[in-house]
Chains A and B, each alone.
Chain A
């Protein structure tokens, strides 16, 4: 298996633009997580899905952020409109274990820069 695949690896966009980050989880994993990493706050959980259904989105910072999982092999995290403070590395992770978050395989991340 190729592991969790994220695209793009790097994204530079102007403030106000829409940004879409993509994730392909490991095949067979029932849980998918989106995390954001910054120097100040470390790794923060944004949202997670179980069997394509969003379970907990309490970490999503505000309404500008939305996430979808239309099928078991694809998820998106969208920011509209983007702001400079959204600059961070965004990670997708997937898991098949219970508790679901205990063992997670992370993608390589998308480094987002909003100028």
Chain B
């Protein structure tokens, strides 16, 4: 069974701090995606990482795909209140037909 474990489950920080959240699995994924979900809304795609070791940057967000394609991390530099939300990682199921999701990290950034 493919599972994606995310940690930490909750994170509460002050504006300006840096943070890293993790997405781990014992299974190999062809790609992993990161989504952000705000209260009352659906998840919104942030990035897809495909190649082992790949690093992608999206403004203050840095995403890394592990060399073995079993894990990924999201690093946020100088967090802002607008970064508050639920961060979900997702990967294709073994059939390659649909996404399976981790349970997410709930991030709260206070000013």
Contacts and interface: CB of A to CB of B under 8 A. Distances in A.
Interface of A: 4, 33, 41-45, 48, 55-56, 91, 93, 99-109
A13 B75 CA distance: 41
Nearest to A44: B101
A104 B97 contact: no
Contact of A45 (B30, B96, B100, B104): B100
Interface string B41-58: 111110010000000000
Q: B33, B43, B95 — which one has the most chain A CB atoms within 10 A of its CB?
A: B43
A109 B39 CA distance: 11
A3 B2 CA distance: 30
Contacts of A109: 40-42
Contacts of A108: 40-42
Interface of B: 30-31, 33, 40-45, 48, 88, 90, 92-93, 95-104
Contacts of A48: 97-98
Contact of B33 (A56, A93, A100, A102): A102
B42 A91 contact: yes
Nearest to B4: A42
Contact of A101 (B43, B99, B102): B99
Contacts of A41: 103
Contact of B45 (A56, A100, A104): A104
B98 A101 contact: yes
Contacts of B92: 99, 101-102
A106 B101 CA distance: 14
17 contacts: A33-B98, A33-B99, A43-B88, A44-B101, A45-B93, A45-B99, A45-B100, A48-B97, A48-B98, A56-B98, A99-B92, A99-B96, A101-B92, A101-B96, A102-B33, A104-B99, A108-B40
